[in-house]
Amino acid sequence: MSTMLPMQGIEPRCLREQDGCDLSRDDGNVAVDDRSIQRGSRSTRRARSTSHEDAVSQKQCKRRRPGQRDEPRVRSENYFRNLYSTEPDFCRLGSKYPEFGNLLRNGAHLDFTDPAAVVQLTKTLLKEDFGLEINLPANRLCPPVPNRHSYILWLKDLLDSTSSAYSQQYEPERQVTGLDIGTGASLIYPLLGCAQRPTWNFIATDIDAESLRSARENARINNLEARIRIIDRVTSDTLIPDLSTGPIDFVMVNPPFYASDTELRELAAKKSRPPHSACTGAPVEMVCDGGEVRFVERLLNESLTLRDRVQWYTAMLGKRSSIEVLIDVLKKNGINNFAVTTFIQGSKTRRWGLAWSFLTRRPSPVVARGCGSFLAKDMLPPVTATTIYKPPSPDHADLVPSLERILCDTMTSLNFRSWTWNEQRLRGVGFADGNVWSRAHRRRRTREGTDAAQQESAGSPLDVANCAFGFSISISTQINNTAESGSSSPAVTVCWLQGDDESLFESFSGVIRRRLREDTTRSI
């Protein structure tokens, strides 16, 4: 499942890819950066008539009655999740924020070829949707808010599904530290992260003096200096600074797309619009030797030394070909715990997210395999969840107590290091030192007797971080749309939470699947 922000009619300005990916990444137009947002396709925009714009403007403005007050925003997790699921109402925003409204044509349309208009859109969205204020230098990239927000959403899901509590849920008390490499003048990622999660803190780095000055100012005006530490770096430094302050939960980077100034000019020349219409980004923001692949390979090489001192190393990329190259590099280095996703806005623009870890906590399938059919199956990380049981016929909600009993009886009969069942969530979490459900293991336990089995399980039953296999089993109730109205039936799902050995997950799932089918047959 992709991290999608289906903003109908709102699409970032990008370049066409030559190697099969729909669109490339940042074309560096500042105040437009690839990074900017446009309303509809260019051909559609050229074809719009003044009368059509007037009609649309009048229709949109009817949504807001004179003197109508905005409802107060409750910025919950669901609020942030649903942001930009529909396009922003420019008419409403223009009425609320005069500095934005003054730039709209007919009260509802924005000229995206005007850098000042794009900058004001970014400022307005940050203020309206996140309560943030920013200053942006005229000669630095202006980030499109929906694009950057989608990266933060994915990071939240990545961390929530791989926390040390194994809850696969947001934990409001969890303290998180992130490192943003090349934070830019806007400081956009730390600002968005801190606005959404009050227990998140950031280290932000950059090599450009002007960007650093602006970033510090943006931290100051948002009263986030205590939560965002900004560090000056130079080109010869490592990407990840000294971590003597403690472990990092995640590293994030949105690297320069272009490998050279020549590539930048050549790709810009292929655009239907003159390339200098709004291109005011600095070369340091748009170009690096080797482009995005070389930059992320550099990060990967540093991660091979730091390893689990960082839980997740992540990057946003613009080309499918870049993702394919980097996944191959991960596999060659024996890294099989990784995640890949797509970030989609509008009908065309696609960005790619890549993450890898040297720890063994496994992300959920939605997070790890969020790119749909855009990548070949052999490029994807291992499957981390499977539904092992559904009733043979619908309308079996009454099976839930039986399923719960069968699961708990089965789990307690096995030699797990730890097993807990949450009756409210109908979810259990367990850990094992190996394949304790195999016949060979059970025979050995029988031969050695109860004392040996107890000794094997003794020690630190709650210290499960080093267990070879961790899992969850959950019972969910699904509505049957094809059956009678209101009927439902249960489903049992096994999730792989921890471990390096995929065969343990597959073997365990198979054993529990067979047990459920055998025992529930007697109950139906």
Per-residue buried b or exposed e for 422-447, using 16+ beta carbons within 10 Å of the residue's own CB: eeeebbbbbbbeebbbeeeeeeebee
Q: How far apart are CA 121 and CA 10, in angstroms?
A: 12
Q: How far apart are CA 210 and CA 195, in angstroms?
A: 24
- Find out whether 35 and 12 touch, Cβ atoms under 8 Å: yes
For residue 287, list its beta bridge partners: 258
- Find out whether 252 and 181 touch, Cβ atoms under 8 Å: yes
The reply to whether 182 sits in an annotated binding site is: yes
The residue among 41, 467, 32, 458 whose CA lies nearest residue 279 is 32
The reply to whether 254 sits in an annotated binding site is: yes
Cα 427 to chain centroid distance, Å, stands at 24
The reply to whether 148 sits in an annotated binding site is: yes
Q: How far apart are CA 79 and CA 505, in angstroms?
A: 35
CA–CA distances in Å: residue 327 to residues 339, 361, 439, 509: 10, 19, 37, 27
The residue among 147, 141, 223 whose CA lies nearest residue 182 is 141
Q: Does the CA dihedral 478-481-484-485 come out positive or negative?
A: positive
Q: How far apart are CA 164 and CA 187, in angstroms?
A: 29
The reply to whether 443 sits in an annotated binding site is: no
SS3 10: strand
Q: Cite the annotated binding site for S-adenosyl-L-methionine by residue number.
A: 148, 182, 206, 254
Q: Cite the annotated binding site by residue number.
A: 148, 182, 206, 254
